[in-house]
Amino acid sequence: MAKKVKRAVVTGGAGFIGSHLCDALLADGLEVTCLDNFATGRAANIESARANPRFSLIEADVTDPLDVEADMIFHLASPASPLDYYAMPVETLLANSLGTMNCLDAAAKLGVRMLMASTSEVYGDPEVSPQDEDYYGHVNPIGPRSCYDEGKRFGEALCKACERKYETEVVIVRIFNTYGSRMRKDDGRVIPNFVRQALDGEPLTIYGDGNQTRSFCHVSDMVTGLKGAMTTSDVAGEVINLGNPNEMRVIDLAARIREKTQTDSGVVFEPLPQDDPLQRKPDITKAMKLLGWAPRVGLDDGLDDVVAWFTEGRG
Ligand code: NAD
Ligand code: UDP
C-alpha cells in the first residue's frame, strides 16, 4: 500500500522564515498548507511553492479558528521585526495569544504536534550570557517591545497549560536573530537595513554606541532546526533555543558589511530604542544534544546571500 504523504500546516508561511520552511518541507516530499494574512509576508515569497501541486494557501488570519487537515502544525504567524510590531502591537499580541490558542486547538483535535515559534526576546535584556532555556528573562511588561515579548511569553505559557490540561503535544522553539534572502528592504532589522544602506551608498544607521551584541543565524540553518524540532520523536514538551552562538557587536557587523560591499558609506549613530537588549547569545547545548543540530553557515557566506538578494533587486 502506498504510504500516505504527510501534511504540514505553516502559519506565517508567506513570511521570511515561514516561506523557506515551506520550500524545505516541499523538497522533503510533504504536502504543505501555508496560512497567512500577508500582514508582513509577501506573495512573492511563495511564488515558487505555489507552482508545486503539494502546496496550498489559505489566506486567513490565525486569530480566526483554524479549519485544517494536518499531521503537524508550525505556528510562525506573527510580526517579528521591531518596526512591524511597533506598528501592529495589538495584532502582535493577538497572533501570539488567540492565534496560538487556535493552533493548539487544531493540534489537539487532530492529535498532532504543534511547534510554537517563540523568540530570544522572552529573555528580554538578559542579565546572564549566554542565555540557556532555564533563564527566566528580564522583560519590561509595558514597554514598546512588550507586545512582542509578552505575546510570546503568553504563547509559551498557553502551550504549557494546554499540554498539562489537555495533553496537547507541543514543542517550543526560541528563535534567535535569523537572517537571509527574502527579508524585505523595509524590514527594519539590522542586517537588511545595513546591507541595503551599504548598497545604496547611504550611511549605516547604528543605534546607540554599537556595543550591543547579537548572534546571527542563517535561515537555512534555522529551517533545519525547526524541522528537527518537529520530527524528533522524544522532544515533546521541550523548550529549545535555536540560533548561532557567534556573538558580535553591532558596530563590528557594520564594519563587516561595509567591507563586504566595498561601499563608500560611512556610519551614523542614532538613539538606542527603549529596552533594546544590550547582549544576546544563545546557549545551544540542548539543541545539539536533543536534535543533533548545530548551525553550519558562517556570517560571510550568509551575508553573501543577503547581498545577492538585494543586488538582484528582490528585497
Ligand atoms: P515575517 O514578518 O517575515 O513573517 C511573519 C508572517 O506571519 C508573515 O507572512 C505575516 O504576514 C504572517 N502573519 C502575521 N500575523 C498574522 C496573522 N494574524 N494571521 C496570519 N498570518 C500572520 O517574520 P519572520 O522573521 O519570518 O518570523 C517568523 C516567526 O519567527 C515569527 O513568529 C517570529 O516571532 C519568529 N522569530 C523570528 C526571528 C527572526 O530573527 N527572524 C527571531 C525570533 C523569532
Ligand atoms: N540596529 C541598528 N541599526 C539598524 C537596525 C538595528 O543598530 O538600522 C540594532 C538594534 O538597535 C539592535 C540590533 O541592531 O540592537 C538588532 O536589531 P534587530 O531589529 O535586527 O533585532 P532585535 O533587536 O529584535 O534583536
Ligand 2 within 6 A of 145 CB? no
Q: Which residues pair with 159 in a beta bridge?
A: none
> Cα–Cα distances in Å, from 154 out to 114, 147, 149, 151?
16, 10, 9, 5
State the number of CA atoms in the 13 A half-sphere of 114 facing the CB.
Answer: 33
Ligand 2 atom having least distance to the Cα of 191: 20
Cα–Cα dist 48/88, whole Å: 28
Nearest CA to ligand 1 atom 29: 76
Percent of the chain with pLDDT over 90: 97
At 313, the pLDDT band (50, 70, 90 cuts) reads confident
Helices (H), the chain: 16-27, 47-50, 82-87, 89-96, 98-110, 146-166, 190-199, 219-231, 250-261, 285-291, 299-311
The arithmetic mean of pLDDT across residues 46-56, rounded, is: 98
Q: Which residue ranges make up each domain of the chain?
A: 7-179+216-245+277-296
* Ligand 1 centroid – CA 154 distance (Å): 16
- R_g (Cα) of the chain, nearest Å: 19
Ligand 2 within 6 A of 205 CB? yes
Cα–Cα dist 105/65, whole Å: 8
Q: Which three cell numbers stand for residue 13?
A: 508561511
Cα–Cα dist 46/52, whole Å: 10
Residue-level pLDDT at 1: 64
Tell me the pLDDT tens digit for each residue of 111-150.
999 999 999 999 999 999 999 999 999 999 999 999 999 9
Nearest CA to ligand 1 atom 27: 80
Residue-level pLDDT at 92: 98
Nearest CA to ligand 2 atom 14: 190
* Ligand 2 centroid – CA 190 distance (Å): 5
Cα–Cα dist 219/216, whole Å: 9
Ligand 1 atom having least distance to the Cα of 94: 18
Percent of the chain with pLDDT over 70: 100
* Ligand 1 centroid – CA 12 distance (Å): 6
pLDDT of residue 315 exceeding 90, the answer is no
Q: Is 177 helix (H, G, I), strand (E, B) or coil?
A: coil
Residue-level pLDDT at 171: 98
pLDDT of residue 2 exceeding 80, the answer is no
- Is 148 among the residues known to form the active site? yes
Q: Which overall architecture, per CATH, does domain 7-179+216-245+277-296 show? A: 3-Layer(aba) Sandwich (3.40)
Cα–Cα dist 146/92, whole Å: 10
**Which H, E and C letters describe 263-276, residue by residue?**
CCCCEEEECCCCCC
Tell me the pLDDT tens digit for each residue of 75-84.
999 999 999 9
Q: Which three cell numbers stand for residue 229?
A: 524540532
* Ligand 2 centroid – CA 189 distance (Å): 6
The arithmetic mean of pLDDT across residues 258-286, rounded, is: 97
Residue-level pLDDT at 277: 98
State the number of CA atoms in the 13 A half-sphere of 134 facing the CB.
Answer: 2
Residue-level pLDDT at 3: 77
Q: Which of 117, 101, 100, 35 is nearest to 70 (CA)?
A: 35
* Ligand 1 centroid – CA 259 distance (Å): 30
The arithmetic mean of pLDDT across residues 60-88, rounded, is: 98
Among the bound ligands, the one closest to the CA of 184: 1
Phi, psi (5° rounding) for residue 78? Answer: 180, 140
Residue-level pLDDT at 314: 78
Q: What is the total residue count of the chain?
A: 315
Would the pTM count as exceeding 0.75?
yes
Cα–Cα dist 10/19, whole Å: 9
The arithmetic mean of pLDDT across residues 144-162, rounded, is: 98
**Exposed/middle/buried for residue 296 (C-beta within 10 Å: 0-12, 13-18, 19+):** exposed
The arithmetic mean of pLDDT across residues 175-193, rounded, is: 97
Ligand 1 neighbours, Cβ below 6 Å, are 11-12, 14-18, 36-41, 61-63, 76-80, 84, 95, 99, 117, 119, 175, 177-178
- Catalytic option among 86, 123, 136, 148: 148
